[in-house]
Amino acid sequence: MPTTVPRLLEEAHALRTSAIAVSCGAASMTHGELMAESNRIANALKACGVKRGDRVGVYLDKSIASLASLIGIMKADAVCVPLDPTGPVARMAFIVADCGVRVLITSGNKQGRLETLLADGGELDTVVVVGDRPLDLADASVRIVSAAQVAQASGTAPPRHALEGDLAYILYTSGSTGRPKGVMLTHRNIVAFVEWAARQFGVGPADRVSSHAPFHFDLSLFDLYVTLARGATVCLVPQGIGFLGVDLVKFIADNRITIWQSVPSVLMIVEKHIKERQTDLGALRVVFFAGEPYPPQALRGLMKKLPGARYFNIYGATEINDVTCHAIEHLPDDAPLPIGKPCGHMEVVVLDENDRPLTETGSIGELCARGPTVAKGYWGDPKMTAEKFVQNPVHDDYEDRLYRSGDLVEIRRGGVLAYVGRRDAQVKIRGYRINLREVEEAVLKHPEVAAVAVVDRVADDATRYLAAVVETTEGAELSLRALKRHLSESLPAYMAPETLEIVAELPKTSTGKVDRQALKAATDLEPAHP
């Protein structure tokens, strides 16, 4: 029998039927109840004509119902397309049209947005409703399967025909063209990742794993499927508290969380609200982060407050999931954290600008990866797929797919890799090539800077300049002159930002990262005094 995601979950269910699989606030489901509910959804989908390989959208707030829906879609041999429940309708409409979503699982609280989608020309054949609130659409051409009809479907698993190479998910990420791109993940991709991550972090039935990432973000694959496949408990972080430090600390304590994963910016929010020697967080044994660099001075504060946990820096991308891992034992200085060595299931190849492999210590090149978690490509975009998923130049005598990340890394002693920056994060200012991340790291070392994003802007005369958009520490009155004086100690003058813009909070994407596109588009930010 093929090893698919549903099969992994059913094997755990067989051993842990009555144990709690998922909790969300006061609500919870056992492994047995979750499997039965996902079976009902799968049977309801099949009853309305969903076939192997069909794309089914999930447009729900984070909840037990949305988790059951994702599993149910895969049990119906279909492909999960999670949609951002708080994102703009226009983006949802693009995704629905782009990958041909004809069936959508949603709830009554999304009625207004669905009405807008349909009124603007969005096309859906069937809407499957889960949850307590009913749905009544004005467009009579759309078939509605009510929550009551889903509840009446069989709780027995339907026959399945999906293979390891079939698609399980399409996750949409921001594209360089300004249009979202759909990354195609197979069952094999997810299963290989689950098996590695479960071993790496020792996930077992006693663990209680936080699910902070939204379900349309690739970090959620660990939270959901590694946890469930090992008979552990997924604790869903409610959408409303995702960036509220006091509430997140309380969530970790109340749910006795043992494993936490998020982007560093969220952990920095959490750290500010942890009290010294806060014993009710003592169950937390593993903290790992990914998605963006973690300033060492900020991480040092977290490690001091939570000394009993083990810490890991993970590097990856939606197209390859986790690729490198660095166990953090100590932080001797403020140098950027390395991203570590390749994970056990992956091989990393560092290529120079002529696509020749680099192996010597000190070499800098593009990180490329091969292995079982490399995605199938981009939905409906063979040109972009061909550019990013290429033949491995090391092996030209047989087919060997390699993903080009576009990220530059330095090879350090012992084969440890350090992230240098994006190829596209380099800009030219007056003929000088500048890496924006390097400037950000220098700005962050100023004691009055809490967070920063450096962007390049275009002046009225069409010349480019650097702007530092900064969140300051409480009560600080940072000036551009003081910042430049600080930067002069570590950067040449041409790398110093020419404007300083103070904001109450840097804009974030729905996944918690700094929204650099929003910053670059902003024109109403007031410069700070010189």
- Which has the minimum average pLDDT: 51-65, 210-224, 430-444? 430-444
CA nearest neighbour of 487 among 454, 513, 515: 454
State if pTM tops 0.75: yes
- Domain covering 242-421 in this structure, CATH number: 3.40.50.12780
Residues of the chain with pLDDT > 70, as a percent, come to 95
- Residue 177 pLDDT: 52
- Residue 175 pLDDT: 58
DSSP states along 173-230: E--TTSS-EEEEEEHHHHHHHHHHHHHHTT--TT-EEEE-S-TTSTTHHIIIIIHHHT
Please determine, for residue 529, whether its predicted confidence score (pLDDT) is greater than 80: no
Among 107-111, 232-236, 435-439, which range has the highest average pLDDT?
232-236
Q: Where in the chain is the domain with CATH 3.40.50.12780?
A: 242-421
Summarised one tens digit per residue, pLDDT across range 353-410 is: 899 999 999 999 999 999 999 999 999 999 999 999 999 988 877 888 999 998 899 9
- Which has the minimum average pLDDT: 140-149, 171-180, 424-433? 424-433
Residues of the chain with pLDDT > 90, as a percent, come to 70
Summarised one tens digit per residue, pLDDT across range 11-53 is: 888 888 999 999 999 999 999 999 999 999 999 999 999 999 9
For residue 47, give both structure tokens. Answer: 């009853």
Separation of alpha carbons 58 and 55, rounded Å: 10
Please determine, for residue 303, whether its predicted confidence score (pLDDT) is greater than 50: yes
- Residue 530 pLDDT: 47
Mean pLDDT throughout 490-514?
86
Please determine, for residue 209, whether its predicted confidence score (pLDDT) is greater than 80: yes
pLDDT level of residue 2 (50, 70, 90 thresholds): low
- Residue 138 pLDDT: 84
Tokens 């109840």 identify what position?
33
Mean pLDDT throughout 179-195?
95
Please determine, for residue 523, whether its predicted confidence score (pLDDT) is greater than 60: no
**Contact by Cβ (8 Å): 210, 204:** no
Please determine, for residue 438, whether its predicted confidence score (pLDDT) is greater than 50: yes
Check the CA dihedral 28-29-34-36 and report its sign. Answer: negative
Instruction: Answer with the residue of higher pLDDT: 483 or 460.
Output: 483
Q: Where in the chain is the domain with CATH 3.40.50.980?
A: 5-198
Q: Where in the chain is the domain with CATH 3.30.300.30?
A: 430-521
Mean pLDDT throughout 430-450?
83
Rounded to the nearest 10 degrees, what angle do helices 296-305 and 264-272 cross at? 50
| 7 three-class SS | helix
Separation of alpha carbons 327 and 320, rounded Å: 20
**Contact by Cβ (8 Å): 210, 223:** yes
Please determine, for residue 468, whether its predicted confidence score (pLDDT) is greater than 90: yes
For residue 215, give both structure tokens. Answer: 């379900």
- Which has the minimum average pLDDT: 9-13, 49-53, 211-215, 255-259? 9-13
pLDDT level of residue 1 (50, 70, 90 thresholds): low
**Contact by Cβ (8 Å): 282, 307:** no
Separation of alpha carbons 177 and 181, rounded Å: 9
- Residue 426 pLDDT: 63
Separation of alpha carbons 209 and 310, rounded Å: 14
- Mean pLDDT, the chain, as a whole number? 91
Summarised one tens digit per residue, pLDDT across range 50-79 is: 999 999 999 999 999 999 999 999 999 999
Summarised one tens digit per residue, pLDDT across range 309-362 is: 999 999 999 999 999 999 998 887 777 899 999 999 999 999 998 999 999 999
CA nearest neighbour of 309 among 292, 335, 327: 327
- Residue 527 pLDDT: 46
Classified by CATH at the fold level, domain 430-521 comes out as: GMP Synthetase; Chain A, domain 3 (3.30.300)
- Residue 528 pLDDT: 46
- Residue 14 pLDDT: 85
Separation of alpha carbons 452 and 443, rounded Å: 7
Q: Please identify, in words, the CATH class of the domain defined by 5-198.
A: alpha beta
Please determine, for residue 415, whether its predicted confidence score (pLDDT) is greater than 90: yes
- % helix, strand, coil for the chain, step of 5: 30, 30, 40
Separation of alpha carbons 128 and 150, rounded Å: 8
Mean pLDDT throughout 470-498?
88
- Residue 525 pLDDT: 46
pLDDT level of residue 91 (50, 70, 90 thresholds): confident
